[in-house]
Amino acid sequence: MMRTRPLKVALLGCGVVGSEVARIMTTHADDLAARIGAPVELAGIAVRRPDKVREGIPAELVTTDAMALVKRGDLDVVVEMIGGIEPARGLITTALEHGASVVSANKALVAADGAALHAAAEASDADLYYEAAVAGAIPLVRPLRESLAGDKVNRVLGIVNGTTNFILDKMDTSGAGYSEALDEATALGYAEADPTADVEGFDAAAKAAILAGIAFHTRVTIDDVHREGLTEVTAADIASAKRMGCTVKLLAICERAAHGGSVTARVHPAMIPLSHPLASVRGAYNAVFIEADAAGRLMFYGPGAGGSPTASAVLGDLVAVCRNKVAGTTGPGESAYTALPVSPMGEVVTRYHISLDVADKPGVLAQVAMVFAEHGVSIDTVRQQGKDGEASLVVVTHRAADAALSSTVGALRELDTVRGVASIMRVEGE
């Protein structure tokens, strides 16, 4: 039966994502009301620039005083699509204190302060949902939190940043330059307000923290995630990956240790074989594998950024929290009962591709191989190309601990015959 009193919803932010949310709320109002069991009314929209032309947005709903909007006291749901830590954190906390449920797309904030926000939601008997914070349109947060709640997740691995995947794809397939590809991703609305968050891996690290926390029922913040962006990836790395039958992707990898007593979370560029399903994830698409005891291996794939795809995830959350409001209940909150520690990157075990510039003379290869052996890092393949008394040596290792690899590289740098370490990249997905 349809409830007649409308649910009042405030939007904070009306940019790339917010404008699409407002559009869908308006054009699909009847369907949303039928699915929720109550009409949904837009009660106000907070922005920074009130005079900006916003097609389809009633001017009387627009305000620059976001705090006054969330303090109104009659709101059922606040949808935060401003981004960043402040003022988003203060606005969300105030909205929760005033009894509104909150839907957010803000991974930076959830990854930095998720525990406190969940506590505020619980104290107010309100919901805090953030499906859109991870991988755009792809349902991941709810499947992990609800569908897989009875299973034991051991690994989450994937591409969770659309901007960097778009850039790497462009550099790989069309030979586009890094800056040109980043400008295009920004113009298409994929990049964060400060694209450094994308290219330096902060955005993917925030998503990795959120996924690890939910997957392993523990608390992981962005500071726990080992992070390397793609600014160090060169055209030579991409060409070298191609020669090995691989491509380069920025990956987020969250793992439960084999002994089960700790977890790791990391974001870095990695080479993956062209035969791996992640290699064919193009443009701003994302894809995530989840490996669980009973379910086995699941793959989630779809648009990872952009206004309309992200609005789909926001609207899904909006319907869910509105349904809870109508039923007088709340959905599942934070589950962090395992309290597993996060191990340092040095304990991560994987394979490596190391490119060295060396002197092209007898005994150099043996010297280099000895350094690897002394540090317990086993070599899988070696490729050498010589030119004018210098040579480029590409070594691919078997699985080794990150700490062992770091000390190997440190010792290689000390050798007179090693002119430089041109690049070090992890090899995943084999």
The catalytic residue positions are 207
| Structure letter (DSSP) for residue 342 | B
Angle at 7 between CA 5 and CA 13, to 5 degrees: 150
47 binds, among ligand NDP, ligand HSE, none (CB under 5 to 8 A by kind): ligand NDP
| Shortest Å distance, C-beta 287 to ligand HSE | 12
When asked if residue 400 is in the footprint of ligand HSE (CB under 6 A), the reply is no
The conformation of residue 351, written as its DSSP 8-state character, comes to E
Figure out which of the listed residues 57, 75, 82, 160 binds ligand NDP, where binding follows CB under 6 A.
Answer: 82
Q: How far apart are CA 169 and CA 279, in angstroms?
A: 10
> Which residues inside 112-141 make contact with ligand NDP, applying CB under 6 A?
132, 136
Cβ at position 52, least distance to ligand NDP in Å: 5
Stretch in the footprint of ligand HSE (CB under 6 A) among 20-28, 186-194, 347-355, 413-421:
186-194
Say which residue the tokens 């586009």 belong to: 176
DSSP state of 48: S
Q: Of 87-106, which residues contact ligand NDP (CB under 6 A)? A: 87, 105-106
Q: Which does 82 bind (CB under 5 to 8 A by kind): ligand HSE, ligand NDP, none?
A: ligand NDP
Residues 203 to 222: which contact ligand NDP by CB under 6 A?
none
Task: Please tell me the distance from the alpha carbon of residue 28 to that of residue 129, in angstroms, as a whole number.
Answer: 21
Q: Is 198 in the site for ligand HSE (CB under 6 A)?
A: yes
Q: Which residue is nearest to ligand NDP (CB)?
A: 15
Could you say whether residue 110 binds ligand NDP (CB under 6 A)? Answer: no
The residue type at 255: E
425, 249 in Cβ contact below 8 A? no
Out of 10, 16, 32, 364, the only residue in the binding site for ligand NDP (CB under 6 A) is 16
Helix/strand number for the chain, H first, E second: 14, 17
* Token pair recorded at residue 383: 């490729």
Among 52-60, 116-124, 189-197, 235-243, which window interacts with ligand HSE (CB under 6 A)?
189-197
> Considering only CA atoms, which of 261, 254, 272 is closest in space to residue 134?
254
Cβ of residue 89: shortest distance to ligand NDP, in angstroms?
12
Q: What is the Cα–Cα distance from 277 to 287, expressed in whole angstroms?
A: 9
Q: Which helix (H) or strand (E) holds 154?
A: strand 153-159
Q: What is the DSSP string of 106-153?
A: -HHHHHHHHHHHHHHHHHTT--EE-GGGSSTTS--HHIIIIITTTS-E
Q: By C-beta, is 62 or 305 nearer to ligand HSE?
A: 305
**Interface with ligand NDP includes 33 (CB under 6 A)?**
no
Residue 302 interacts with ligand NDP (CB under 6 A): yes or no? no
Number of residues that bind ligand HSE (CB under 6 A): 11
Residue 405 contacts ligand NDP per CB under 6 A: no
Considering only the stretches 31-39, 70-78, 117-125, 187-195, report the one whose residues sit in contact with ligand NDP under the rule CB under 6 A. 187-195
Binding partner of residue 161 among ligand NDP, ligand HSE, none, CB under 5 to 8 Å per kind?
ligand HSE
Residues 6 or more apart in contact with residue 55 via CB below 8 angstroms: none
The type of residue at 120 is A
Furthest-apart CA atoms within the chain: distance in Å: 86
- Annotate each residue in 135-174 with x if it binds ligand NDP (CB under 6 A) or - if it does not, as one string: -x--------------------------------------
CA distance 138 to 301: 6
Omega cis (within 30) before 143: no
8-state DSSP, 189: T
Reduced to 3 states (helix: H, G, I; strand: E, B; else coil), residue 324 is helix
Question: Taking the complex as a whole, how short is the minimal distance between the CB of residue 233 and ligand HSE, in angstroms?
Answer: 16
Among the residue ranges 29-37, 175-183, 259-267, 305-313, the one whose residues contact ligand NDP (CB under 6 A): 305-313
Q: Does 161 bind ligand HSE (CB under 6 A)?
A: yes
Is 352 one of the binding residues for ligand NDP (CB under 6 A)? no
Residue numbers at the binding site for ligand HSE (CB under 6 A): 136, 161-163, 190-192, 198, 203, 304-305
